[in-house]
Amino acid sequence: MRRILFIWPVLLLTLLACKGEQAGDGGVYQATDTLPMLITQIQKCSRLYTVEMKVHKIVTHDDVIRLRGSVLQKDFNFKVPLGARKIAIPMDATLKAYVDFSQFSEKNIERNGDKITVILPEPKVLMTSSKINQKEIREYVALARAHFSDAEMTEYEQQGRAAIIQSIPQLGMFEMARENSARVLVPMLTALGYQEENITIAFRKQYGVDDLKRLLEIIP
């Protein structure tokens, strides 16, 4: 009887603790903004964005625990039962191609009578934003494993971001960036009084795949 009386307060406290969790799930959180903004870097620039591409990627990770080793000079490698986890993270990203005008000068202009040639620097591509579709993330976790932590998920997202940046040379943005630069600049030059047929927009060089990889702007 005494033992039962002793157990009651423990049970009551456990139930109260569970109640606290339920309240949290219902969205009644105490959200606090206690930490200030860290760093702001302001940079003056002059960039003409000419192409915008939206891409989608599903980042997947198959987290299988494997037992590896060697005994009696025999190697073995097998899956641990009940140790598998899987996650799929859908993400969207916006890529933009631009021409940098910050170093633009008289050297970029060639005039011959009524004709004008504008020589533009090499276009570059950067990722301007990315969004994780949090509500569409799916994870499957075996009984013996813990759920994916926030740190693990952000690490996979960062790897997915890097994979998108690596795939930029295959997306064909650079050629489009060249064509669209002309579409923006030609109307401006015609407004300045030049005839359309007298305007040439040129770029410094043709690109190979290695050049394209070099032009990627990767934020660490």
Partner 1 sequence: MRKTIENIRSITVAAAIIAVILIAVWLYRSLGDARLEMGADNSIDLTPTQIESIKAVGEWEFLSISTEELVDTTRKRLFGDDQLVRIYYGTLRLGVDMKQVEPGWITQRNDTLFLTLPKIGLLDRDFIDEARTKSFFESGTWKAEDREALYKRAYRKMTAHCLTPTNLRTAEENGRESFRKLLRSMGYQKTEIKFGK
Establish if 129 lies at the interface with partner 1 (CB under 8 A): yes
Helix (H) or strand (E) holding 89: strand 74-100
- Tell me if 98 sits within 8 A of 123, measured CB to CB: yes
Q: How many CA atoms lie within 13 A of 103 on its CB side?
A: 7
DSSP label of 39: -
Establish if 150 lies at the interface with partner 1 (CB under 8 A): yes
Establish if 45 lies at the interface with partner 1 (CB under 8 A): yes
Establish if 117 lies at the interface with partner 1 (CB under 8 A): no
Establish if 139 lies at the interface with partner 1 (CB under 8 A): no
How many angstroms separate the Cα of 39 from the Cα of each of 45, 130, 199, 207?
Answer: 19, 20, 44, 36
Give the x-and-dash track for 66-105 against partner 1 (CB under 8 A). xxxxxxxx------x----------xxxx-x-x--xx-xx
Number of residues located near partner 1, criterion CB under 8 A: 105
From the CB of 2, what's the least distance to partner 1, in Å? 25
Establish if 7 lies at the interface with partner 1 (CB under 8 A): no
In the bound state with partner 1, the residue whose beta carbon lies nearer, of 1 and 143, is 143
Comparing C-alpha atoms, which of 194, 188, 182 is closest to residue 113? 194
